[in-house]
Amino acid sequence: MTMNNNEIELVLKDWVYMWTEVFSAANPDLETANDILDTDADYMGDSLAINNNYDYEIISDTECHFYHYLGMRLPHVARIMLRLDYVVSDKMSSMIALFNRNVLPDIVAFSVEQTVQSFKDFCIKEGIKLSPLFKIEPDVIEDLKHSLTEGMIDTYINHRKQHDIDCYKGEHTIALNCPQSNSINITLNVSFLIIDEILFDNIGFKRNSNRDLFFEKVPECRYYTLKMKCIQISNHPVDLTVVDVQLYLIILDCSLQMLLGDNADKLIPILEERGANKDVRDIFFKSATELFNMYKNSAITPAPTDWNALIR
């Protein structure tokens, strides 16, 4: 899919489920929808909810990506989080051009339609029978297109644009080269596996509360972007910027504390199932310790956080 505008061109490179969830008696939906957009208040006496976020990064002099993160939740039925990866025609000038009312609405409309279809596909795969009433009317899509667009533009103008100015050097300076080695592969993948468990996948944790706490330290969209970058270590070496490393050290610190604290019993069986046996975990501990030692006298090192006191 390609979208052309006089100011910008975007090509949808890929889309992927960031996480999914089926609600059941064993995994009840305990969330409220007060902080996200209600769209179909007549369906099943409740409302379809959509939340919207974005990130972007310059990969090289000629490659820039816009990541649109859309979550869709049907209360007490299921939820998904989708990432749509758009390649932008050129560099930061396109990022600025992207956030205007002539360009962004069409991207949002396409992303919403793709997310709705992905939600339906996920439900079919999981054997969830949706009511024939489940649909989003064109006027709802039109309303979403404008309301989500305004929110994204507001966030960019009032927050992200200044961040880009303040953190330009940190966002464009490589601080860590990650070669394809066994220890690096284990460190990156195990750390994200643990965080995904406590935030999304393991019903033994209070995941809604954990997400609120964790995303105060690592913004949600940055977590997804960094995760997708780091897990590419299986395919090729990965370079992390100064800002990437700052955020990753928070992720690594939290995952280490979880694996060494009171929540270890909830995590170790999952790690064993995924092939992270004791030998692998020992490599993880050793490599993580070496990484922290590398930055112990650096401003990159995050302030101490007692994650075992926060995560439940």
CA distances from 194 to 28, 35, 103, 138, 256 (A): 22, 26, 38, 40, 9
The angle at the Cα of 67, spanning 64 to 70, to the nearest 5 degrees, equals: 165
Q: What is the pLDDT of residues 61-86, one digit of tens each?
A: 677 899 999 999 999 999 999 999 99
Which residues have CB under 8 Å from 64's CB, separation 6+?
Answer: 56, 57, 58, 87, 88, 90, 91, 92, 94, 95
Return the ∠ at Cα 289 (arms to 178 and 218), rounded to 5°: 70
- Residue 44 — pLDDT band, cuts 50, 70, 90? very low
pLDDT at residue 46 is higher than 60: no
State yes or no: pLDDT of 310 exceeds 80.
yes
Q: What are the two backbone dihedrals, phi and then psi, of residue 244, each rounded to the nearest 5 degrees?
A: -55, -50
User: 192 with 231: CB under 8 angstroms?
Assistant: yes
| Radius of gyration in angstroms for the set of CA atoms belonging to the chain, rounded to a whole number | 20
pLDDT, tens digit, 9 for 90 and up, residues 188-204: 999 999 999 999 999 99
For residues 87 and 66, give the distance between their C-alpha atoms in angstroms, rounded to a whole number. 6
For residues 50 and 43, what is the distance between their CA atoms, to the nearest angstrom?
14
Name the pLDDT band for 5 (thresholds 50, 70, 90). Answer: low
Considering the four listed CATH numbers 3.30.70, 1.25.40, 3.10.420, 3.30.450, the one that applies to the domain covering 2-166 is 3.10.420
Domain boundaries, the chain: 2-166, 174-310
